[in-house]
Amino acid sequence: MVKDAPIGVFDSGVGGLSVLDEIQQLLPHESLLYVADCGHIPYGEKTPAFIRERSRLVAEFFRAQGAKAFVIACNTATVAAVADLRQDYPDWPLVGMEPAVKPAAAATRSGVVGVLATTGTLQSAKFAALLDRFATDVRVITQPCPGLVELIETGDLDSPALRQLLQGYIEPLLSAGCDTIILGCTHYPFLKPLLAQMLPPSIILIDTGAAVARQLKRLLGERELLALGDPEPAQFWTSGDVYHLRNILPTLWKHSGVVRSFGS
Binding interface with ligand DGL (CB under 6 A)? 11-13, 15, 41-44, 74-76, 118, 121, 149, 185-187
Residue nearer to ligand DGL on the CB measure, 43 or 134: 43
Mapped onto helix, strand or coil, the DSSP state of residue 30 is coil
Residue 247 C-beta: closest distance to ligand DGL, Å: 20
Residue 15 C-beta: closest distance to ligand DGL, Å: 3
Query: Got the DSSP string for 74-114?
Result: -HHHHHHHHHHHHHH-TTS-EE-----HHHHHHH-SSSEEE
Residue nearer to ligand DGL on the CB measure, 9 or 67: 9
CA dist., res. 22 & res. 213, Å (int): 6
Residue 37 C-beta: closest distance to ligand DGL, Å: 8
Q: Count CA atoms within 13 Å of residue 180 on its CB side.
A: 22
| Phi-psi domain of 66 (left: phi exceeds 0; alpha: psi -120 through 50; beta: other) | left
Mapped onto helix, strand or coil, the DSSP state of residue 254 is coil
Q: Which of 38, 74, 145, 178 is catalytic?
A: 74
Number of other CB atoms surrounding residue 102 within 10 Å: 15
Residue nearer to ligand DGL on the CB measure, 185 or 259: 185
**Does the annotation count 74 as an active-site position?**
yes
Binding residues for substrate: 11-12, 43-44, 75-76, 186-187
Instruction: State the Cα angle at 185 between 113 and 152, rounded to 5°.
Output: 120
Binding residues: 11-12, 43-44, 75-76, 186-187
Check the CA dihedral 95-97-102-103 and report its sign.
positive
Residue 195 C-beta: closest distance to ligand DGL, Å: 16
**Does the annotation count 38 as an active-site position?**
no
Residue nearer to ligand DGL on the CB measure, 173 or 182: 182
* DSSP letter assigned to residue 155: T
Q: Which of 38, 145, 178, 185 is catalytic?
A: 185
Active site residues: 74, 185
